[in-house]
Chains A and B, each alone.
Chain A
Amino acid sequence: KQEVTQIPAALSVPEGENLVLNCSFTDSAIYNLQWFRQDPGKGLTSLLLIQSSQREQTSGRLNASLDKSSGRSTLYIAASQPGDSATYLCAAGKADSWGKLQFGAGTQVVVTP
């Protein structure tokens, strides 16, 4: 059974610092890994999608890496801003159950001005 873990559960950094968010998964047979952002009381915004054949994806200040052999993905957010404050979720799509994303519990990020 796929289990997805996110560490740390919460993170507070001053504005301008880089953020490093970790996601680990127990079953390396995934077809993709997706990072989301969730603001309080709101839905999920997709940030980056990494296919299983890829090592990383970048979008603006965001960069996500994927290492299937070690069961890890890392989301880097450069030069954090107060607007980056949110909960960040990673979700793994397992190869033998298309469409079913397994979510981590999330990392709650606070960026202080």
Chain B
Amino acid sequence: NAGVMQNPRHLVRRRGQEARLRCSPMKGHSHVYWYRQLPEEGLKFMVYLQKENIIDESGMPKERFSAEFPKEGPSILRIQQVVRGDSAAYFCASSPNGRYEQYFGPGTRLTVT
């Protein structure tokens, strides 16, 4: 059973470009979570999704950030018009439901130049 997969593992974007981060949950998991780890800071919750639904987006910045988890395919975290402050490691996790153990992917390290 493959673990949570994230791609790309490393992403470099210039200021103003768009970044798309992908997450494929573990087989049988329909709940996906995104977290961000800024340099020298702890992990912060961003958004919790089920298939085609956003359950909790209380940690998402109000502008430029969006997330989706379509019926088919991976979950996507999209950052429009990236700025240097978006440089961070973005982790995706999945679970069978919202109260179970979360399993994390290897992360996508975004660098904005």
Contact = CB atoms under 8 A, between A and B. Distances in A.
Partners in one complex: yes
Interface of A: 31-32, 34, 36, 41-46, 49, 89, 91, 93, 97-106
Nearest to A6: B42
A49 B101 contact: yes
B42 A97 contact: no
Contact of A99 (B56, B91, B103, B106): B56
Interface residues of B, number: 26
Given A99-B56, A100-B59, A103-B44, A44 B99 contact: no
A101 B55 CA distance: 14
Chain A contact surface mostly: strand
B104 A106 contact: no
A103 B44 CA distance: 7
24 contacts: A32-B101, A36-B104, A42-B107, A43-B91, A43-B105, A43-B106, A44-B93, A44-B104, A45-B104, A46-B101, A46-B103, A46-B104, A49-B101, A93-B99, A98-B55, A98-B98, A99-B55, A99-B99, A99-B102, A100-B33, A101-B45, A101-B102, A102-B45, A105-B42
A106 B40 CA distance: 11
Main secondary structure of the interface of B (DSSP, over half): strand
B31 interface: yes
Contact of B99 (A31, A102, A103): A31
Interface in B59-108: 59, 91, 93, 95, 98-99, 101-107
A46 B45 CA distance: 16
A44 B98 CA distance: 18
Contacts of A42: 106-107
Nearest to A93: B99
Contacts of A100: 33, 45, 48, 56, 58-59
Contacts of A102: 45
Given A99-B55, A103-B42, A105-B42, A32 B48 contact: no
A48 to B, nearest CB: 9
